[in-house]
């Protein structure tokens, strides 16, 4: 089909462009501005060029935080995506169970991040928390304040508890949109339960799964509030993710230049990885 050029459309998107400019482009440009300058206060700025970027890219602290982020996102994805699919497959398709399950699933999503953090912070405490106290009573040596592994387990379980629902709801939406005829045809064709999943349910869930993977990757890679509330990045630096490190640099140490440079690198990494995910997951659509 021939493309029609109609410049009037620009006027229609202008309000959105302005809004996005104020909410995203201008703040982003401010960060770019900071990242190439140095300041000692008094609103005086000195040109620093790419020094801050050099510093960040050569700092072990940055690479360690980045590794933690990648590991965290990886664990989150391999736990939440299969678990989400599994729960969605086993959710009732009709009857009173549907609204009950949907509400139960939606509940964790409705809780503010810092409240989730506080819940788990208290829940896991060895002195007063239900989980921590029970584990201690059972003789399990669990203490997220002292042990890095325990801290990681706590943060991961908290994230799984908080966000698996999102994957479940997305997958469920994909599943209920499959017409009955597909299942009937599969029965006629003598397909096994696994074949039904592999050739009907999974392909039909593909689009929503793509969204689920992207959202969960981006969110887990940007995680801040919950570990900040629960562990504060500790013990040591064991749960200091890029976002937590960034806030320490920017707000704690007030190093605007390095923090700005770090923000931009962080932003580019998320953009790049999301693009890779998207390209890989949609590429199978393109052949045929």
Contacts with another protein by CB under 8 A lie at 179, 181-182, 184-185, 187-192, 195, 199-200, 203-204, 287-288
Q: How far is the CB of 201 from another protein (least distance, A)?
A: 11
Secondary structure of residue 38 in the 3-state scheme? strand
Nearer to another protein, 112 or 190 (CB): 190
First to last CA, the chain: 22
DSSP 90: H
CB 185, min distance to another protein, A: 4
Joined together, the tokens standing for residue 53 give 């970027």
Q: How far is the CB of 191 from another protein (least distance, A)?
A: 6
Taking the complex as a whole, how short is the minimal distance between the CB of residue 206 and another protein, in angstroms? 9
Q: Which is nearer to another protein, 58 or 193 (CB)?
A: 193
Distances in Å between the Cα of 199 and the Cα atoms of 279, 282, 283 are 22, 17, 18
- Looking at beta carbons only, is 128 or 288 nearer to another protein? 288
For the CB of residue 95, give the shortest distance to another protein in the complex, in Å: 13
**Residue 287 Cβ vs another protein, minimum distance, rounded to whole Å:** 7
Q: What is the DSSP string of 13-34?
A: HHHHHHHHIIIIIHHHHHHHHH
Q: How far apart are CA 166 and CA 90, in angstroms?
A: 15
Q: 146 or 198, CB closer to another protein?
A: 198
- Pull the structure tokens for residue 179: 């017409």
Report whether the peptide linkage leading into residue 235 is cis, meaning its omega lies within 30 degrees of zero. yes
- Residues 288, 122: Cα–Cα separation, whole Å: 53
Q: In the complex with another protein, which residue's Cβ is closer, 208 or 265?
A: 208
139 or 190: whose CB is closer to another protein?
190
Q: Name 45's bridge partners.
A: 39
CA dist., res. 221 & res. 201, Å (int): 28
């Amino acid at each position: 089909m021939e493309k029609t050029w109609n410049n009037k459309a620009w006027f229609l998107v202008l309000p959105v462009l302005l809004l996005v400019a104020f909410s995203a482009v201008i703040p982003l440009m401010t960060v770019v501005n900071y990242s190439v300058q140095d300041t000692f206060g008094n609103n005086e700025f000195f040109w620093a060029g790419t020094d801050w970027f050099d510093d960040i890219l050569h700092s072990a602290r940055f690479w360690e935080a980045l590794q933690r982020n990648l590991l965290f996102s990886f664990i989150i994805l391999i736990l939440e995506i299969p678990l989400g699919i599994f729960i969605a497959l086993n959710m009732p398709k009709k009857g009173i169970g549907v609204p009950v399950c949907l509400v139960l699933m939606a509940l964790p999503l409705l809780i503010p991040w810092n409240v989730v953090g506080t819940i788990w912070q208290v829940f896991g405490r060895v002195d007063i928390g239900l989980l921590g106290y029970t584990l201690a009573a059972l003789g399990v040596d669990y203490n997220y304040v002292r042990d890095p592994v325990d801290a990681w387990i706590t943060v991961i379980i908290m994230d799984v508890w908080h966000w698996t629902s999102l994957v479940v709801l997305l997958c469920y939406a994909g599943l209920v949109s499959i017409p009955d005829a597909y299942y009937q045809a599969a029965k006629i064709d003598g397909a096994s339960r696994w074949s039904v999943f592999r050739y009907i349910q999974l392909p039909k869930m593909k689009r929503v799964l793509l969204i689920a993977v992207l959202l969960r990757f981006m969110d887990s890679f940007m995680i801040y509030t919950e570990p900040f509330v629960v562990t504060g990045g500790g013990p040591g630096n064991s749960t200091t993710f890029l976002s937590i490190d960034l806030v320490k640099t920017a707000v704690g140490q007030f190093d605007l230049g390095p923090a700005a440079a770090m923000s931009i690198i962080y932003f580019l990494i998320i953009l790049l990885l999301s693009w890779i995910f998207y390209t890989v997951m949609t590429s199978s659509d393109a052949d045929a």
